[in-house]
Amino acid sequence: MLRCRPFRRPLSSALHATAFLVAGLLTTLPLRAAQAQSAQRWSVQASGLHVGVFGDAYEGLKAGLGGEVQLRFTPGVWSFGVGGQASSHGTTGAGFDGQTVMLQGAFIEPRRVVDIGSSRVAPYLSARLAYLQQTIDFTLSDGVSVLDVNAEASGAQVNAGGGLLVRLSPRVNLDLGATYGVIRFGDVLVNVPGFGQSNVAGTSGTGQNLVLRAGLAIGLGK
């Protein structure tokens, strides 16, 4: 949930360690191209998501469903994607039961396929750097008047994971993947129509997520 908390020790060491580990794994793989990778240099991908959330930043939030779309460039065994993602999460806890929190933002995602000698199936390792925004809309009432309130917080997230590409046709791949990530949200911005905005100093917390993905990638052009 969006809450004002004292500043905590930054997650920079965890983010750096995750990025370093993924980079090391990606660069030590064989250089042979997996034929199950997209045969076209450009492709679009749409996926459904199941997002589990944990940690202080997500206290009171349930796992949620969502989706993502991305445009990918595939020059060889490496593939680079850019896109957007969104998921919706129910809430539990005093004062917030039945509310909905949206988690959405943009990302870049490099991948490196692993050649297992198959023309139809290829596992891959991936990393993702995303900038996400967590938002909630709710009402406050004193028995006489009702105020509509919007609260939001944003932060940078790093994910590492992998998946499996299955060639369904010369232009279509099935993509099954999973990633684990860490995020640190910044200050909470509260907006009350008629009263303006206020920035709540401090941090809304840190969190982790486990994302399961299933989607289709469609090749473009020749």
For the domain spanning 12-220, the CATH number is: 2.40.160.20
Which one has a higher pLDDT value, 162 or 194?
162
Return the number of other C-beta atoms located less than 10 Å from residue 143's C-beta: 5
Q: Looking at residue 59, what DSSP letter applies?
A: T
* Range name among 17-31, 137-151, 189-203 with the lowest pLDDT average: 17-31
**Nearest alpha-carbon partner for 92 in 65, 71, 64, 68:** 64
Amino acid identity of 94? A
Segments making up each domain of the chain, as ranges? 12-220
Q: Report pLDDT for 102.
A: 96
Asked if residue 192 has pLDDT above 50, the reply is: yes
Mean pLDDT, rounded, for 177-197: 88
Q: Rounded distance, CA 147 to CA 124, Å?
A: 49
What are the distances in angstroms from CA 73 to CA 67, 78, 141? 20, 9, 51
Mean pLDDT of the region 133-143: 81
List of E strands, 168-205: 172-185, 188-192, 196-200
The per-residue pLDDT for range 94-129, each reduced to its tens digit, is 566 778 999 999 999 999 999 899 889 999 999 999
DSSP assignment of 125-141 = EEEEEEEEEEEEEEEEE
* DSSP string computed for 165-176: EEESSSSEEEEE
Query: Considering only CA atoms, which of 157, 171, 154, 163 is closest in space to residue 220?
Result: 171
Confidence (pTM): 0.78
pLDDT tens for residues 53-105? Answer: 999 889 889 999 999 999 999 998 899 999 999 999 999 875 667 789 999 99
Res. 160: pLDDT tops 80: yes
- Counting residues of the chain whose pLDDT is more than 70, the rounded percentage is 79
- Long-range contacts for 62-66 (Cβ within 8 Å, ≥24 apart)? 62/89, 62/90, 62/91, 62/92, 63/89, 64/88, 64/89, 64/90, 64/103, 66/103
Strand, coil or helix: 116 = coil
Listed in sequence order, the residues at least 6 apart from 208 whose beta carbon sits closer than 8 Å to its beta carbon are 53, 54, 55, 180, 181, 182, 183
When pLDDT is cut at 50, 70 and 90, the band that residue 198 belongs to is: confident
Strand, coil or helix: what is 36? coil
